[in-house]
Amino acid sequence: MKQEVQVYSLFTEFDISLFRSGKHYRLYEKFGAHLITHEGQDGVYFSVWAPSAKLVSVIGDFNYWNIDDHPLNVRWDESGIWEGFIPGAKKGDKYKFRIVSNYNGEILEKADPYALRCEHPPNTASIVWELGYKWKDKKFMSRREEVNALDKPYSVYEVHLGSWRKNTLENRSLTYLEMADELVSYVKEMEFTHVEFMPIMEFPYDPSWGYQLTGYFAPTSRFGDPQEFMQLLDAFHKAGIGVILDWVPSHFPEDKHGLGKFDGSHLYEHPDPRKGYHQDWKSLIFNYGRNEVRSFLISNAVFWLDKYHIDGLRVDAVASMLYLDYSREDGEWEPNAEGGRENLDAISFIKDLNTEVYSSFQGVQTIAEESTSFPKVSRPVSHGGLGFGMKWMMGWMHDTLEYFKKDPIHRRYHQNDITFSMTYTFTENFVLPLSHDEVVYGKKSLLGRMPGDDWQRFANLRLMYSYMYTHPGAKLLFMGAELGQYAEWNYNTSLDWHLLEQDSHYGIKKALTDLNILYKKQPALYDNQFSEEGFEWISFDDNQNSVISYLRKGTSEKEILAVVCNFTPTVLKEYSIGLPKKGKLKEIFNSDDTKYGGSGVTNEAIKIEKEAFHGKEFSAKITVPPLATVVFKLT
């Protein structure tokens, strides 16, 4: 039986004006389902954007999913917003919007785009919820600006929550609350400064790893409710660890309950398939030129920073947003109004996003996963940039992995592969990523790429990590990298924790822990990590020995490290390196140390002589261990 939906609105005329101009960045305070008391009655205010709808009603537990009971009222201002107050609806009720399209009378049942909680997949209903929570992270939030600063250590442990560790007795993933204990203590033990979650927003299909979202404002129900997710975040902050979320504004799936053809029209996606459909991912692309869609996306980014105290957003697939011809052949794309291949609407959207984030939240970072040479990705919008804080260094990742898979006997012919990154490393604020994408789809695990016998493979892996941590830039490692896994990552199974019972695998974990400690304790590794003042070559052209050496320098003249990497299994004795001043060399890290599973070729304190070498006034003779990185402090 049709019931009265009371006229009520959370929108002011100013809200409507901002929304329609693409400048409303707090839409989650207006759209969706909100528990309120109206005229003495408890209930829920519902609102949804569906400008091409002929009729919108709310169906749910409170009306036994009767399609006729609660039709919403369309606003008079042509905003396309349908809204109303339903007395008696309550927290925990499941619901959807039933939409009758104006186009052809098509009937759609859609989840709420602004739902705060969703049903556990494969069920698809939204759930009335509220986000009340008493945060306990005041201390962390007060110093977050320092924790997240570009001149501070930034080492990230990338995690897929569903497969990090399983409850073996019940054959299930850990809950948010279990992770608040086990995952937090582990990341703390490993000495990472940050954790990054692959997408936790609700998604229907496990094999997508979370990159095909349907519930943009809801943490996935797979591991618990929103407040339990907040407890996990709180626990990380209590441990002094920042939290980054993967965020996906580049595309969304075609699932019937999702955003696709939401009101029968191309509402969220671009109507032209050349701009609105991803052929690679079989998904839809947001219409970045539509103001209301821009408001939706930027509001979503702001939501996680505002309501969940998130410290950073890693923005997925930025390259696919920037270029109209991304993964398209000639004839499958149309140039922009200026005749170019850039997606001008997407670029404008990205600039608006970063401008809002950095102006509204102190101490956060946005990080671009961007694989092209698009200029100034991590430069401020005011300086002609896209406005991201950092950018993934995909070129470094590719060149490094290609180099390390070569037999050491051939590396002398590929010295440029390992040195080339330094020709452009200071053009952006780069993150060095060894992410989940590098250990799937037949690429092999990182250990599996390494050549040689078992000893050499583990030595190569320690060498690569040590080179990574002494190279300028922030660091990111995908879970399992610290275990030296033999197998590729599988989203459906736990990491191979049993490997830590073997000394060689435990040595990898110990080496990475110590590299994180080294990174934190040595200002020379982070003070100028995005500035050319922080790096100086000692020698990049000793290809006969496959050795590179360089200085890392802090803001203080006293903070200087010398790093030597030997990419062959040959021990080099009496190896000379040029140095900038007198004093002594003190070895502070050596990936060949026996505690890591190495051969134990180390150096005692070495006197620096006044003998010119490598174009420098002073020099020293060192022993270079096999397949290893050794780090000295100039004292």
Active-site residue list: 316, 369
Instruction: Please check whether residue 630 is in contact with residue 497, taking contact to mean a CB–CB distance below 8 angstroms.
Output: no
Report CA 11 to chain centroid distance, whole Å. 33
Question: Which tokens belong to 447?
Answer: 């250990």
Identify the three-state secondary structure at position 392. strand
Q: Which residues pair with 110 in a beta bridge?
A: 97
Question: Which tokens belong to 102?
Answer: 């104006």
Residue with tokens 């096999």: 626
Q: What angle do CA 614, 590, 479 make, to 5 degrees?
A: 120
* Crossing angle between the packed helical segments 344-360 and 291-307, to the nearest 10 degrees: 30
Instruction: Please check whether residue 27 is in contact with residue 295, taking contact to mean a CB–CB distance below 8 angstroms.
Output: yes
- What are phi and psi for residue 55, nearest 5 degrees? -155, 135
Between the alpha carbon of residue 133 and those of residues 227, 230, 307, 593, the distances in Å are: 7, 8, 9, 47
- Amino acid letter, 608: I
| Cis previous bond, 122, omega within 30 | yes
Taken as a whole, the chain contains a residue count of 635
Dist. CA 600–CA 608, nearest whole Å: 23
Between the alpha carbon of residue 69 and those of residues 2, 110, 483, the distances in Å are: 4, 17, 56
* Residue 112 half-sphere exposure toward CB, CA atoms < 13 A: 33
Instruction: Please check whether residue 599 is in contact with residue 629, taking contact to mean a CB–CB distance below 8 angstroms.
Output: no
Instruction: Please check whether residue 544 is in contact with residue 516, taking contact to mean a CB–CB distance below 8 angstroms.
Output: no
Question: Which tokens belong to 361?
Answer: 């939240």
Between the alpha carbon of residue 630 and those of residues 8, 403, 561, the distances in Å are: 68, 19, 10
- What are phi and psi for residue 175, nearest 5 degrees? -85, 170
Question: Which tokens belong to 354?
Answer: 């970063």
Question: Which tokens belong to 366?
Answer: 């946005």
Q: Which residues pair with 536 in a beta bridge?
A: 551
Dist. CA 398–CA 569, nearest whole Å: 23
Question: Which tokens belong to 515?
Answer: 């590299």
- Residue 7 burial by Cβ neighbours in a 10 Å radius (0-12, 13-18, 19+): exposed
Q: Parallel, antiparallel, or unpaired for β 166-167 and 172-173?
A: antiparallel
24: left (phi over 0), alpha (psi -120 to 50) or beta: beta
Instruction: Please check whether residue 50 is in contact with residue 263, taking contact to mean a CB–CB distance below 8 angstroms.
Output: yes
Identify the three-state secondary structure at position 188. helix
Dist. CA 369–CA 358, nearest whole Å: 18
Question: Which tokens belong to 380?
Answer: 């401020």
Name the helix (H) or strand (E) containing 313: strand 312-315
